[in-house]
Each structure stands twice: as C-alpha cells, then as structure tokens.
Copies of this chain bind each other. A is one copy, B any other.
Amino acid sequence: MNAHDRPLRVALLGCGVVGTEVARRLTRDADELAQRVGAPLELVGIAVRNLDTPRDLDVPAELFTDDAAALVRRGDLDIVVEVVGGIEPAGDLIRAALEHGASVVTANKALLADQGADLFEAADKAQRDLSFEAAIAGAIPIVRPLRESLAGDRIRRVLGIVNGTTNYILDQMTTLGQTFDEALAEAQRLGYAEADPTADVEGHDAAAKAALLAGLAFHTHLTLDDVHCEGITSVTADAVQSAAEMGSVVKLLAICEQIDTPDGPAVGARVHPAMVPLSHPLASVRGAYNAVFVESEAAGELMFYGPGAGGAPTASAVLGDIVSAARNRASDVFGPGETSHADVRLLPIGSAHTQYHLVIEVDDRAGVLAIIAQEFARFGVSIKTLRQEGLGSDARLIIVTHEAEDASLAATVEILRGLEVVRDVSSVMRVEGGS
C-alpha cells in the first residue's frame, strides 16, 4: 500500500467519553494510522451539542461545530464516526452521512437494535460500510470474529456477559455478600453505574447487544422488542448465596440461540440473570469485564474476553473500524455487510429450553414433598437435584430441574405458588452453562 495516497476525511459526531478518546488518538497516532491505512486520516470536523464546553483535547478550535446535520452533508467526507448516542438525531445523521458518500462507524447499540435493518439497507444502497464493533462488548473484537472468522461455521449459541455495570454489581454481591442496593450504590460511587441505572440494571443495554449478536450469529435481523429481557433488580443476596452453595455464580447473560424445530430453524434471544457453574469460563469474568462465549458446530467453544466499556477501550474498537473503513474507501470497495439471508422464525422465550433453580418455602409436614413432586411431574418437568433445609416455619426446598421448555417451568412455578403447602417461592432463577 502507498502512504502517499489522498488523505481520507473523517468527521466525528460527539466528543464525550468515547469521542474525546477517538479524537485524541486520531491526532496523536496520525503517522502510525497512516501507515496502517495506506493513506493519512484527516480529522475535518467535530460536532458537539455545546460549543462552550471546555474539552481536554489538543485540536484546532475551528474543527468544532454544533451543526452536525450540516457536517454530515459536506459531501467530501470519507468516514463519519457517530458517538453521539441515542436514537435521534443519531439515526438521521447516519442516514445522511451514508447518502452523502461516507462510510459510518458507530458505537450506538440502542440505535442499531432499533433501526438496524433500515440503516444496514441504507449502507448497502450507498455501497458504504456501516461498522459497529464498539457497540457490542466495548473493546472486545466480536463483530469480525462472528461475521468473518466464523463465516464458514454454524453458530449454535452465544452466551454473553455484555454489560459491565451489572457484572460489577453481581460480582460485589458474590464476593462481599452485599445486597443489590448496596452494590448499586457502590457502583454509582465508583462511576461504574450511572445516576439513572435503569438501562443497565433492567437489562435493556444487554438486550440491545443481544439483538445485535443474534443478528450476526444467525444472519438475520432482530430488534430490541424481539429480545426477552429480565434485569437484575430482583436478584437477592439469598439467591447469590444459594448459587455459591451449588458451586455457581449469578451472572446477567445475553443468550442467543438457534434451535431446530419441526417448522425449521428458529432463533431466540433473551437476557436474564442465571446461575453459571464455576467450571464454566464465563463464571470467572470478574468486575466490569465483559465476555462472549460462542458455541459453534466446527470450532467448538470459543470465548472472547475484555473490557466492555470506558473511553479508551471503546475508542480502540472505533479506531479499528475507522482503519478498516478507510482502507476500503481508499480502494473504493466496501466490506461484508449485514447478512440477513436466513429466513428464521423467532423463538419465544416460552419455547426456549432452560433449567430452573427454585427456592420453595414450604410447610414442614409429611407429604409435602409428594405434593410438590406431583406438580413437577404433571408439567413434564423432571427434578435434577433437591435439597431440604430448615425446620418448622423455616423449612424450604431447593430444587434444580432438568432442562425443560421455559413455558412449562414457568407454569409449574405459577401452580406451586398457589399450593396450600407452599408459603412462598422465594427465588426462581435459570441455570445456564451446565452440562
């Protein structure tokens, strides 16, 4: 490649946590990046909301603008980097950038899980790249491995810890015995959780990533609405303790799977807390780290591990996409786009095969076990392990089921709750990653 090609013009939309790091590295590492691309990258504009915000960046003041819409319509841009976040104007800005001839790099999972199909079609029509490595699991290279390295394999299942905030909270609950509220407060104090933690703790952020992962793994399109989503707000210290007792740890998992059904293949995507045995590689993912575990037919079990967020790690992923997009622009080609050729049905959560871990507070008298066992049998759910604990008003059963349809498991729990001998089903959690 030739380093004396024409410079490639890059515009940055957003200069916050991620954008600042991207701008810093584009400037500081200009020579090295030019070598890797084969042509210099020229930062020609930075759109922000507020021009008066002081920025810790050594770039000419005239690069800044508060008119992002005009910037993406300049017509001479090669690459637009969208790190504004949110749905609008981000979506419109990306569409305009593509229409005006730029390839786009984005870190915006929320937008892609909402309008992905439309945006990838726009990229396809414009014959430009729309890359989003930073949108899933921050710095961890996962888009290229799924889309390219495993392009000749059949992915069966993807299990991801894709939200650092919730992994940090669950980790604190596990190692320090904190309650959810205590761990959340600590995470907020340390900046791992935002003041409004809803998107993280309710699982919405992980669900957006699950939609993207499922799309990549199974060559289809999913939106946020297609993902069954349960957060971690109802994970109790007891449940975490109970997991520890059975040699497991509680993780918030994003699970994408393809199942063969009598009506052909179906794809399911769900986010929920689950007990993961300590022997599983995902169990040792600590703190705010992320990891994506992939089960595929030929390659077997793969795991990708690293920091899932933060300015510098996310910028690393963004810059990797910028270099690829720039190489493509320099030779006027575009990379493999979104594949959505697979005609797969959506698998509702009820049809997923899962295992349940239950804590059932029961009356301490003869015959209770038989009554409960009968209900499990009635729904075709078989019990894998059962432990009785406590006496009198403290008596409880701790049950782990074998795999069954989630709907049957849920129905069993519903019925159990109504039984006269059951005082409470105090904890219900799925078990994943077992054998």
Interface residues of A (CB under 8 A from B): 1, 21, 25, 29, 32-33, 35-36, 133, 139-141, 143-145, 148-154, 219, 281, 284, 296-307, 310, 312-313, 315-324, 327, 331, 333, 336-337, 339, 341-342
**Interface hub of A141, A143, A307 (most chain B Cβ within 10 A):** A141
Q: Flag if B139 contacts A323 (CB, 8 Å).
A: no
Nearest CB on B from A396, distance (A): 33
Q: How far is the CA of A391 from the CA of B167 in the complex (A)?
A: 48
B324 and A312 within 8 A (CB): no
Would you give the shortest CB distance from A238 to chain B, in whole angstroms? 28
| Contact, CB under 8 Å: B145 / A145 | yes
Q: How far is the CB of A390 from chain B (nearest CB, A)?
A: 35
Chain B contacts for A151, CB-based, 8 A: 36, 319-320, 323-324
Interface centre among A141, A298, A305, A339 (most CB of B within 10 A): A298
Q: Which residues of B contact A331 (CB under 8 A)?
A: 333
| Cα separation A299 to B305 with both chains bound (whole Å) | 11
List of B residues within 8 angstroms of A333 by Cβ: 331, 333
Number of copies of this kind of chain in the complex:
2
Query: Of residues A144, A322, A333, which shows the largest number of chain B Cβ atoms within 10 Å of its Cβ?
Result: A144
Q: Which residue of B lies closest to A331 (CB)?
A: B333
Q: How far is the CB of A138 from chain B (nearest CB, A)?
A: 8
* Chain B residues within an 8 Å CB radius of A219: 35-36
The answer to whether residues A152 and B312 also contact, given A35-B341, A141-B302, A307-B300 and a CB cut-off of 8 A, is no
Docked complex Cα distance between A25 and B151 (Å): 12
**Residue among B148, B303, B316, B339 making CB contact with A324, cutoff 8 Å:** B148
Q: Is the CB of A144 within 8 A of B152?
A: no
Decide if B284 touches A298 in the complex (CB within 8 Å): no
Of the residues B297, B298, B300, B306, contact of A302 by C-beta under 8 Å: B306
Q: Are A317 and B303 CB-contacts (below 8 A) given A323-B151, A324-B148?
A: no
The CA-CA distance from A324 to B148 in the complex, in Å, is 7
A337: which B residues are within 8 A, CB to CB? 1
Q: Which of A315, A322, A341 has the largest count of B CB atoms less than 10 A from its CB?
A: A341
12 pairs of residues in contact across A and B, judged by CB atoms under 8 Å: A25-B152, A36-B219, A133-B149, A148-B320, A149-B320, A150-B316, A152-B323, A296-B316, A299-B306, A299-B316, A300-B310, A300-B313
Give bound CA distance, A324 to B33, whole Å: 23
Seed contacts A35-B219, A144-B148, A302-B305; 9 additional CB < 8 Å A-B pairs = A139-B298, A139-B300, A143-B149, A144-B145, A149-B320, A152-B321, A153-B320, A303-B306, A333-B333
Q: A149-B141, A150-B141 known; A304 and B304 CB under 8 Å?
A: yes
CA gap between A151 and B281 in the complex, in Å: 27
Pairs A-B, 5 closest by C-beta atoms: A152-B319, A141-B149, A139-B299, A298-B316, A299-B316
A148 — which chain B residues lie within 8 A by C-beta? 141, 144, 320, 323-324
Which residue of the partner chain, among B284, B310, B339, contacts A284 with CB atoms under 8 Å?
Answer: B284
Residues of B within 8 A of A284 (CB): 281, 284
Query: A312 to B298, Cβ gap below 8 A?
Result: yes
Contact B301 A153 (CB under 8 A): no
Contacts of A327 in B (CB 8 A): 336
Least Cβ–Cβ distance between A311 and chain B, in angstroms:
9
What residues on B are CB-neighbors of A317 within 8 Å? Answer: 149, 299
Closest chain-B Cβ to A14's Cβ sits at a distance in Å of 17
Shortest beta-carbon distance, A321 to chain B, in Å? 8
